[in-house]
Amino acid sequence: MRHLLSVLLQRNGFQAVLAQDGRQGLQALSRTEFVCVLCDVRMPEMDGLRFLAELRAQSIAVPIVMMSAFGTIKLAVQAMREGACDFITKPFQGEEVIIALEKAIDQQRLRRENEQLRRQLLEISGGNGFDRLVGRSSALRRVVEQAGKIAQYKTTVLITGESGTGKELLAQGIHEASGRSSGSFVAVNCGCIPENLMESEFFGYCKGAFTGADRDKQGFFQEAGGGTLFLDEIGEMPLFMQVKLLRVLQEGEIRPVGGVRPVPTDVRIVAATARDLEEEVKRGTFRQDLFFRLNVLNLRLPPLRERLEDIPLLAEYFLEQVNHHAGTSVKGIARQALRLLMQYHWPGNVRELENIIERGALLAEKDILLAEDLPENFGVRCENRRLDDLLGTLSIKKGRKILEKRLIQRALEATGGNKSKASELLEISYPSLLHKIKAYGI
């Protein structure tokens, strides 16, 4: 059997080392690194299950495909618990062995790639305040380096970039890398506050300033005192409020609604927008003087389509996050799925990638995120999903029998049980159809 298997493997491009029992197998593994082990259950000296236990005790990580002529579900489950990645029963066809080995090797490759990505994520997270901006592309690193240089200064920063590129994360990084990190980071979406409440929300109000003002209330500027005020979607701010914000930036003081005296404020302003503010200035929807005041230092975050090399790292990072928060156990991303992620144009940028990875992990039925787990707009046809789940096997031999039986049943249904017409639909001879009907118990 060992000789036959070695010939089969060599014909399929493998190099095989033979061992008579588990003890010899352990000795070979101690000398050489192997991509896979094909192991019998019943062997002299050390059987297959004890061999698996020894591998685990010695922390030898190598895919193991078990085989036995006495294959039972109980034995297969026991082998899987001991660390085997697959189990095939004798007698078997040569293609069964090759498929099992290739599947095991591919899973091992995925695990190693995922471990490499995890190590890269740890290297990137240097604790400098920008560790949540995952990526190694030159486009992203350039922005992070610029942000790190200006973090120590109080100068106003304008962050531009498409929606979902991570503008708030960059603003948080600037705050955490600055001398103001002990103060508050207050994030405000300028497009979410009703115009009639804007002034009181930003500057606060005094007791009795209007009906219902039964106490003094701090505004965003006071809450962010000594820290950073992040004004997201600054392009959505109405003109009347732009005038008031400009005065605060010029004078360094605010006046609460109903107050009689200005109050000094010590706040660093970081603004962000997905709009082209220069175009907004031309259209008259954004004040030119405020634009000049905000645009002292401009940081442009690149869209995801300009940093495609960061997608594997980001996808792995988001997969780790959803596993942690949702309790899923998806170990990695299949190569085809990753290829589709790299080919996509990403109109929603990093936020869209995060949502797609979360969706895929929650819907995944395997421990690997497959191309079929991605949305249909990635080019994966729903009717081609999970052929192995449809047939209940990855074996070509078993799958062929299942398909033949189902096609024969459909043909007989379509012809009302007329075997002659059914054989014509199936494009096989009448005697062959009778033989298959008997063999499949139809």
Spell out the per-residue pLDDT of the chain, length 442, in tens: 888 888 988 888 888 999 988 889 888 888 888 888 999 888 888 888 888 888 877 777 788 888 888 766 777 777 877 778 888 887 888 888 888 888 888 877 777 776 666 555 545 444 456 878 888 899 999 999 999 999 988 899 999 999 999 999 999 999 998 989 889 999 999 999 999 899 999 999 998 888 888 888 899 999 999 999 999 999 999 999 999 999 999 999 999 999 888 899 999 999 999 999 999 999 999 999 999 999 999 999 999 999 999 999 999 999 999 998 888 888 888 888 898 999 999 999 999 999 999 999 998 887 888 888 888 888 655 444 455 555 666 677 887 888 888 889 888 877 878 888 888 888 888 888 998 998 888 9
pLDDT given for residue 154 in this prediction: 87
For residues 13 and 273, give the distance between their C-alpha atoms in angstroms, rounded to a whole number: 56
The segment(s) of the chain belonging to CATH 3.40.50.2300 are 2-121
CATH 1.10.10 domain position(s) in the chain: 391-440
With beta carbons less than 8 A apart as the criterion, state whether 75 and 56 touch: no
The pLDDT score that the predictor gives to residue 117 is 64
Q: What's the sign of the alpha-carbon dihedral 387, 393, 399, 403?
A: negative
Query: What whole-number distance in Å separates Cα of residue 358 and Cα of residue 286?
Result: 37
Is 337 in contact with 370 (CB distance < 8 Å)?
yes
Question: DSSP letters along 56-90, please?
Answer: HHTT----EEEEETT--HHHHHHHHHHT-SEEEES
- Distance (Å, whole) CA 201 – CA 188: 10
Q: What is the pLDDT of residue 116?
A: 67
- Helices (H), strands (E): how many in the chain? 19, 12
299 backbone dihedrals φ, ψ, rounded to 5°: -115, 120
Q: Measured between alpha carbons, how far is 38 from 22 in angstroms, rounded to an integer? A: 11
Q: What span, in angstroms and rounded, lies between the C-alpha atoms of 149 and 135?
A: 19
238 and 198 in contact (C-beta within 8 Å)? yes
pTM: 0.61
Judged by DSSP in three states, 262 sits in coil
Residues of the chain with CATH 3.40.50.300: 138-302
Beta carbons of 204 and 216 less than 8 angstroms apart: yes
Domain 308-385 has CATH 1.10.8.60: yes
Query: What are 208's two structure tokens?
Result: 């009795």
**Sign of the CA dihedral 17, 20, 22, 24?**
negative
- In CATH terms, is domain 138-302 a member of 3.40.50.300? yes
Sheet-wide strand order for 268-273: 185-189, 228-232, 268-273, 157-160, 297-300
Whole-number pLDDT of residue 140:
93
Half-sphere exposure of 400 (CA within 13 A, CB side): 4
CA distances from 188 to 180, 215, 272 (A): 18, 23, 10
Q: What distance in Å separates the CA atoms of residue 353 and residue 343, rounded to the nearest whole number? A: 12
Specify the pLDDT at position 105.
Answer: 83
Quick one: which of 79, 272, 247 has its CA closest to 173? Answer: 272
pLDDT at residue 125, as a whole number: 45
Coil vs helix vs strand at 264: strand
Kindly list the distances between the CA atom of residue 132 and the CA atoms of 171, 210, 314, in Å, as whole numbers in the listed order. Answer: 11, 42, 10
pLDDT of residue 115: 64
> Is the separation of the CB atoms in 139 and 305 below 8 Å?
no
Decide if domain 391-440 falls under CATH 1.10.10. Answer: yes
Pick the CATH number of 2-121 from 2.60.40.420, 3.20.20.220, 3.40.50.2300, 3.90.1300.10: 3.40.50.2300
**What is the pLDDT, as a whole number, of residue 392?**
64
Look at residue 102 in the predicted model and tell me its pLDDT. Answer: 85
Residue 71: per-residue pLDDT: 64
For the chain, what's the residue count?
442
300 three-class SS: strand
**What distance in Å separates the CA atoms of residue 84 and residue 100, rounded to the nearest whole number?**
12
The span from the CA of 255 to the CA of 207, in Å, is 14
Residue 400 host element (H or E)? helix 396-414
